[in-house]
Amino acid sequence: MLFAVALLTLVSFLSLGSAYSDLSDDTLKNLPGPGDDFDIHKGSILAPILRTRVSGTEGNRAVRQHFIDFFKSQLPEWRIELHNSTSTTPVSGGKEVPFVNLIATRDPPGSFEGDVSRLALVAHYDSKYTPKGFIGAIDSAAPCAMIMHVARSIDAALTKKWAASDGDDFDVEHKGVQILLLDGEEAFRSWTDTDSLYGARALAGDWESTFHTAASIYRTPLDSIELFLLLDLLGSAQPRVPSYFKTTHWAYKHMANAEDRLRKLGVMKSSPNHAANMVKRENKKPRAEPYFLPEGSKADNAFMGGFVQDDHVPFMARGVEILHIIPTPFPRVWHEITDDGEHLDMDTVEDWTKLVMAFAAEWMELEGFFDFTAGKRGETTKSEL
Ligand SMILES: *[C@@H]1O[C@H](CO)[C@@H](O)[C@H](O)[C@H]1NC(C)=O
Ligand SMILES: [Zn+2]
């Protein structure tokens, strides 16, 4: 009897984490774009990441400091931690190289650390050792910038939502967001189990044996991750991201649905049917939408088990649920010296940002908590009129 009751309680806790609710059309239409902050030369978010940042070098340190400064100045409610490890690499001549992951967490006020289930937004910030001068704009400067802008754009809505909660809604009080900007994803010589994923392997291993207090709902920080949403190689035109994992296809479907709605609302700037692109072409017949996520209706038996080795691997091996947003085939600039700011397709970068923002906002059930007039100084829109 006791066992049955305990089990029931556990089951009801588990099912609570996955609440999700769609944003309204109005909210989707008004999601803030990054504007000048993604300018590749002077944008406050993206430009500082577009430099070489090989693990263990000054560039890597400077980019990490940029993240820290961003959170400290713009998102002071987020708890920042650095996770450190060291390892030799095939090119370090026996020396230990430091790998530093940045973890930024926003939990509901007053919640206990071990009782919060989190949506983790993940990208790697190190750049590849070769070719010399490699920038890695899609790999993964742009994904890091997307995550930063998403965090900033949902932050005030999170504050409002939690402030409005009367303390009776378990889900609201126990759902948070975490950002993992990982170091040492790239191989130094060539991809092997030991020459790659330095930061992710160290973090997943350490978190597996970091225990929350005994009464916690989630045993470890790994258990607290409800979904590990990994962005990689995003920012080239016409990406096509399949649904890699059957167990998170439900989450993929949510994102695909958000994409479909954003397209139908005319928000996606990279669409041939976006108003700005329509005026540029003679033939006004609508063209097929080039979906980023074309597998929303993939059948359960169509999952062939193919996937891409990336930062999720050590987490997935420990039971964490993964949504991997990486195009197949890889973009043409992948691991080429041409993967730089100039080769980003900025409309696609903006579209990904909005899509991830919509997904995160729907995951956190933020409909009704956005105030789109607040950030737009000089506009006179008054919602009460
Ligand atoms: C981790 O490394 C960073 C930078 O290298 C350092 O500032 C920080 O104090 C270290 N943190 C811990 C917990 O050792
Ligand atoms: Zn890479």
Ligand closest to 68 (CA) is 1
| CA separation, residue 199 to residues 2, 215, 221, 311, 328 (Å) | 42, 29, 16, 8, 24
Q: Report residues whose beta carbon is within 6 angstroms of any ligand 1 atom.
A: 82, 84, 98, 100
Q: How confident is the model at residue 376 (pLDDT cuts 50, 70, 90)?
A: low
305 falls in which pLDDT band (50, 70, 90)?
Answer: confident
102 pLDDT above the threshold of 50: yes
| pLDDT reported for residue 351 | 98
Average pLDDT over residues 31-54: 97
Q: Which domains does the chain have, with CATH numbers?
A: 2-384 (3.40.630.10)
Nearest CA to ligand 1 atom 14: 84
Which range has the worst mean pLDDT, 7-21, 132-146, 260-274?
7-21
- Residue 186 alpha carbon to ligand 2 centre in Å: 6
Specify the ligand 1 atom closest to the Cα of 84.
1
What would the pLDDT profile of 175-225 be if each residue is shown by its tens digit?
A: 999 999 999 999 999 999 999 999 999 999 999 999 999 999 999 999 999
* 273-293 residue pLDDT tens: 999 999 998 999 999 999 999
The dihedrals phi and psi of 253, each to the nearest 5 degrees, come to: -60, -40
Nearest CA residue ID for atom 1, ligand 1: 84
Nearest CA owner, ligand 1 atom 9: 82
Predicted model pTM: 0.92
Count of C-beta atoms within a 10 Å radius of residue 128: 18
CA distances from 307 to 78, 225, 292, 351 (A): 32, 20, 17, 24
Residue 378's pLDDT is: 39
Distance 290 CA to ligand 1 centre (A): 44
Element (H, E) at 306: none
Query: How far does the centroid of ligand 1 lie from the alpha carbon of residue 144, in Å?
Result: 21
Percent of the chain clearing pLDDT 70 (strictly above): 92
Between the CA of 137 and the centroid of ligand 2 the distance, in Å, is: 10
Q: Which residue has the higher pLDDT, 319 or 376?
A: 319
CA 83 to ligand 1: nearest atom: 1
- pLDDT level of residue 306 (50, 70, 90 thresholds): confident
Summarize pLDDT for 318-339 with one digit per residue, the tens. Answer: 999 999 999 999 999 999 999 9
SS3 119: strand
Query: Which residues are tagged catalytic?
Result: 185, 232
Integer Cα distance of 156 and 271 in angstroms: 29
What is the rounded CA–CA span in Å between residue 169 and residue 157? Answer: 17
Closest CA to 158 of 140, 179, 141: 179
